[in-house]
Structure formats: C-alpha cells, structure tokens
Structure 1
Amino acid sequence: MADVATMAGVSSQTVSRVANNRENVDAATREKVLSAMQALGYRPNTAARALVTGRFGALGVVSFDVGAHGNARTLGAIADAAREADFSVNFMGVRAQTEAAVRHAFQHLMLQSVDGIVLVESQMLDTPSLRLPPSMPVVVADGDTGHEYPNVDFDQAHGSHSVVSHLLSLGHRTVWHLAGPPDSFAARRRAEAWQRTLTDAGAPVPPLVYGDWSARSGYRAGLDIARQPDVTAVFAANDQMAMGLMRALHESGRSVPEDVSVAGFDDIAEAAYLHPPLTTVHQDFEVVGKHCVALLLDQIEGRTDGPRRRAVEPVLVVRSSTAPPRPGGLA
C-alpha cells in the first residue's frame, strides 16, 4: 500500500479509502490511485478490508443446471445487479437434488468469504424442509415459497393464466399442455395454473404431456400430440419445447396456427424469429436479479422492515403462432 501511495502521490489513508470503495475521494485522485494499483499489481487484502467495511464484497450463487435457460438467465441477472452494487459473484453448481448437496455448496462458498448467498432452487429437493447456515444472509430464487427465507420468483400462475385465457378467448374449446419435468417448481406452478384456468372456464382438461425443457422432448411429444385430431391449441411450458412441438406438427402435416395454435413461455431471443413467430410469456430476468441482490443487501446491512417476498409479473407477448380455430373445425 505504501508503494501505491508513493507512486500516486497520496497518503496511505487515501489508498485505503479507494481500496474500500469509499465515496470521500475525488474522481481525479481515485483515478491516480487506481492507475498506481494497476501498474504495481496491487490487490487489496479482502480480509483486512472486511475488518474495515464489515463486508468482503462478494456474493455467492448456488444453482442447479446452468444450461437451463431460466437458471442461466437468473445467474447472469444476479451477476449484473451485483456488479452495479460493487460486489463480485462466486458461483457453485449443484448436481444432486438433495439438501446435503446444497448445504455442501453453501459451506464451500462460505470458505470463500462471501457476504450472502442466492440459492436458485428451481428443482425440488429430497426433503420439503431446507436448513441452511443461520449466520449467512440467504435469498431463494425460483424455489419453494414455503421456505422461511426471503424469496424472489416470477408469478408463474399469472403467466400461465394469461396464455390459457388468450387461447380460450380465440375460440378454442380447450388447451393442451406440454409441461416441464415434474421435479421443477416452475413447471409444477405453470401446470397447476393451466388446469385451474381451464376448470374455472368450464373447459375440458386434457391429459398432461411431459417434456424435459428441451426442444428434442417437445418434438417427441409433438409427434404424439399431432396424432390427436381434436387438438387445436397447445401451451408449452417453455419456448424450446414449443419449438420442437412446432416442427413435429409441421412434419405431421398440421400447420401452425391454422390447424393448431402453439404458445410457449420465457420469450427467448429466438422466439420472435421462428416461423411463425411464437406467442409466449416474457420474463424480465433483470428485475429478478435486482430483487435478489436488494434482498441480500437488506440482510447484510441489517434492514428488516422491507418485504421478504417479491413476485415479478410476466407479460404475455402475442405473435402469429396463435389464431382462432378453423371455421367449422374442431374447437
């Protein structure tokens, strides 16, 4: 630190203020100190900084399959929000769907000196309870809302309701559902809302068809759905499965949306460029990331008067893959 102070022409106390990201340093002086740090390869001691500031400047994220669209987008949004709050992010992936595996990931991150951890739960664990280290600030994203921990999630029920209501309003007699895997919280909530919306409307409830979130599973399920002559509308629980479904319908000689309307969920970047463009539900992951970091900071800084649960409302995006059923045809 003394070498940095000498090169920048400032006191060691000023270097300390810059290293700890204090605000009482003017921009020109801060720039000189940062340049000297870079030239000398100086790296602040995180343990010493924690003694001064009471924090390490890092947040942890524990998540299952980061290849899944929702998990990947949530992780990226948390990283962006953390960076805006001057925190880095340490990530720990989990393969086994067990509380023990989650606790192990938490212990690993705690050894890396993080100030708080976001658990992107997404998949059901082997126990309905969730016991995490009591000393660590925790936020659960996309998980079981029955946990005691602060949580952030999309209003999955609202999203499903908006899709099904849209399809019924077009004149379809009922709506089939290509659901995600049964061990997914999001898939379960979307399926429950699909069934509830049909029941409330007095519409028949077709049997559930399951996929695994992949376009391949949507294609395979779509081949079976295409053989059902009374199917005129399908709500897929995510856009990838909807893509596979649309291909299967096309190969089976059933056009979208003339013969079968198809809607998805997520509004991935490719959804607007499919043929036809896909009706879907847009989820704002940036807002989820900001909520996760804000709830963690509330705990880290000792604020207890704010809301502990935050639901982000998704928005229906109507495109050309949905339309009224053929006149005189099955509806």
Structure 2
Amino acid sequence: MATLFDVAAAAGVSHQTVSRVVNGDPTVRPATKAKVDAAVEKLSYRPSLTARALASRKTRSIGLISTGFPFYGPSSTMHGFNGAARRAGYQVSMATLDGDDARAVQQAVDAFVGQAVAAIVLIAPDAEALEVLRSSRVAVPLVTADSVAEDGHHAVSIDQARGAELAVEHLASLGHRSVAHVAGPEAWMDGRDRERGWRDACERLGLDAGPLLRGDWTPASGHRLGLELAERGDVTAVFCANDQMALGAVHAFCDVGREVPRDVSVVGFDDVPEAAHFLPPLTTVRQDFEALGRRIMDTVEAVLAGDDGPVEAVLPELVVRRSTAVPPH
C-alpha cells in the first residue's frame, strides 16, 4: 500500500503538504493541491485512520458490540445502525459475540479503546452484557439499544411495552376476554418489556392475563408451547413475543386440528419479512429497525457534540393480517 511519503515523492512536495491536502487544509495553493490529488489517485493512496487518530486524538470510527446476532431483531438493528453510521461518514468496527460472556465483552471494549474509537454502541439483548459495559467505565461515550438509560450511558429503543399493548388492544377489540402469552427468555430486556406491556394492557382492559409460557425465540419452542396451549380448551387468543415463536404456535394448532384464526387468534412481534407469507399471514407488531439505527447514530453524534441526543423511543406499529379474528362462539 502506498504511504504518505510515496505520495509526497510522486507529487514533488513534502509529506507535511500531502497531510494538509488530505485533511482539507484550505490554505494549500490550488496548483499544489492538484499535484497531490493526482499522485493520490495514481497510487490509490488511502489515509490511515490509525495515524489520523494518533495525530488528532479523534477518529471517525465507532465500536459496535452485539451478542444477539442470530436473531432477527438484533441483526436488523445492527444493519440499520451500520447504514446510518456509513451515511454519517463513520467506520464501524464490529465485535459479534456468541453469548453474554463477561470476559469476551470486556475484551471487545478494551480492543475498541485501543483503537481510539469515538464511541461504543451496544446492541445486546441481555442485561449482563450491558452491566459489563456500565462497570467498565470507558472514557468514550456509550450508547445502548435498550429502554433504560443510567449514568454513564445513553439509551435508544423501540417502545417494546407499547408494542405489546397494541397487540392486546387489537385482540380485545375483536372480543377476546383472555390473552395467553408466549414470552421470550427472561434474561432478554426486550422480552421483559413485552411481557410487562402484555400484563399492563390486560389489567387496563379487564382481560384475563394468562397463561404465560416462556420460549427461547425459536419456532421449535413456539411449537412446543403451542401444543401445551392447544390442550386448554379456553385459549382463544395468543400473543407471541416474536414472529418465529408465533410461526411455531400456528403450526402446533394446525397439528391438533385447531384452525387459526377460526378457533384461536395469534399475534406475533417484529414483522419479519416472512410474516406476510405465513399461512395464514400473521398479524404482528412491526419494528422499524432502520429508524432505530438512525436514532442510535443521531444519539452518538449528539453526545459527541456535547448534547444528550433524542430521548423519545421509536414507536412500533400494529400490522393486521389474517391470523386474528373474533373468538369462536
């Protein structure tokens, strides 16, 4: 790879002049700038981000840590944030971890600090990874994709509890008086918020909240728990904490001869691309992950500028399809 000194030799100028041109110094004479630009183009020179960081103690780089990559929500949030960061002129260094191992999270933090990143973003669904970052007391801004901000970090989220309320309100409007819940893992913060929204809406609307069964986000767990719910003759509506578990539940009801939505209504969460093509197409709560990614990046830029950034959560949207109907009579 060509170096700053190679460009200087090709242009017939000092390396300090090349540095001034590369960094946009307006005092460089046009003729000199043209010679340097031509040499940069000819040699395919790319400035070193590390060298810039050492010189200015600032980078256009952000460290991103995620522990939930295999699942649609965290991976989609990562995709949305990466796009927003790129459009804002930042490079994203990623550490995608298999789980919530505290040592691995700390190692990722240490590596990012060593790279002089401008900020660290955490898109991790479990509370343990967040606690590791809080206790690390890193000297760069920390922005997390969760619903609770505390001293030392800034939080950005989609209002998970409100999304669950939308699902329950829809089922109640159809005439269901009891709503079962297939919840996510207890350690996941989003799962906790959706469970809280389900309970709050049931209480506010005078519905029977139950039963509650806990899955692991996979269709297989939704199928297993759907079979348990199918054994109960009084279950007419089920709110699943994600679309994959909803798919498994619909499969289970079909296996035992209970038709969706004639016999039981099912609502999911996320609006994965396949949700519109389930049989029947799934009523679900849509999360705008692109908007969340932009909001995270807006918060990073605001914090770097000395502001608090946006505080309002991104609002979800109910998408009504054919998996919900009035209860059987």
- 1:277-304 C-alpha deviation (Å, 9 max, x unpaired): 1111111111111121222222323x22
Q: What amino acid maps onto 1:142 in structure 2?
A: D
Equivalent in 238, 244, 252 of residue 242 of structure 2:
238
What amino acid maps onto 1:176 in structure 2? Answer: A
C-alpha change, 1:120 and 1:218, in structure 2 (3 Å) is same
Mapping 1:69-218, distance limit 5 Å: 69-97=72-100, 99-125=102-128, 130-142=134-146, 144-146=148-150, 148-218=152-222
State the number of aligned residues. Answer: 322
Cα gap change, 1:180 to 1:8, in 2 (>3 Å): farther
Contact 1:165 1:197 in 2 (8 A): yes
- Partner Cα separation in structure 2 for residue 262 and residue 34 of structure 1: 61
Q: RMSD value over aligned CA atoms?
A: 2.9
Please list the CA deviations of residues 153-195 of structure 1 after superposition, one character each: whole Å capped at 9, or x if unmatched. Answer: 1111110001100001100111111000111100111011101
- Aligned-partner residue type, residue 288 of structure 1: L
Residue 275, structure 1, aligned to residue 279, structure 2: yes
- The change in CA–CA distance for 1:115 and 1:151 in structure 2 (over 3 A counts) is same
Distance 1:31-1:104 versus aligned 2 partners, 3 A rule: farther
Distance 1:246 1:36, change over 3 A: farther
1:67 and 2:67 are equivalent in the alignment:
no
Pick the aligned partner of 1:56 from 56, 59, 62.
Answer: 59
How far apart are residue 111 of structure 1 and its match?
Answer: 1.9
Match of 2:48 among 41, 45, 48: 45
Deviation at 1:42, TM superposition (A): 2.2
* Residue pair 1:170, 1:324 contacting (<8 A) in 2 also: yes
Structure 1 match to 2:314: 312
Which residue does the alignment assign to 1:228?
Answer: 232
Question: 1:190-244, CA deviations, whole angstroms, 9 ceiling, x for partnerless residues?
Answer: 0111011111112112121111001111111111111111111101000011111
The runs of 5 or more residues in structure 1 that have no matched partner are none
Contact kept? 2:202, 2:208, Cα under 8 Å = yes
Alpha-carbon distance in 2 for matches of 1:271, 1:59: 33
Following superposition, the deviation at residue 44 of structure 1 comes to 1.2
Answer yes or no: is 1:292 the counterpart of 2:296. yes
Greater displacement, 88-97 / 133-142: 88-97
Distance 1:142-1:210 versus aligned 2 partners, 3 A rule: same
Q: Which of 169-178 and 16-25 deviates more?
A: 16-25
TM-score (normalizing by structure 1): 0.86
**Residues 247-291 of structure 1, C-alpha deviation per residue, up to 9 Å, x if partnerless?**
111111011111111110001111111111111111111111112
Alpha-carbon distance in structure 2 between the residues aligned to 1:219 and 1:75: 28
Task: Give secondary structure in 1 for the equivalent of 2:137.
Answer: coil
TM-aligned CA deviation for residue 109 of structure 1? 1.7
Alignment CA distance shift 1:34-1:68 (3 Å): farther
- Deviation of 1:69 (Å): 1.0
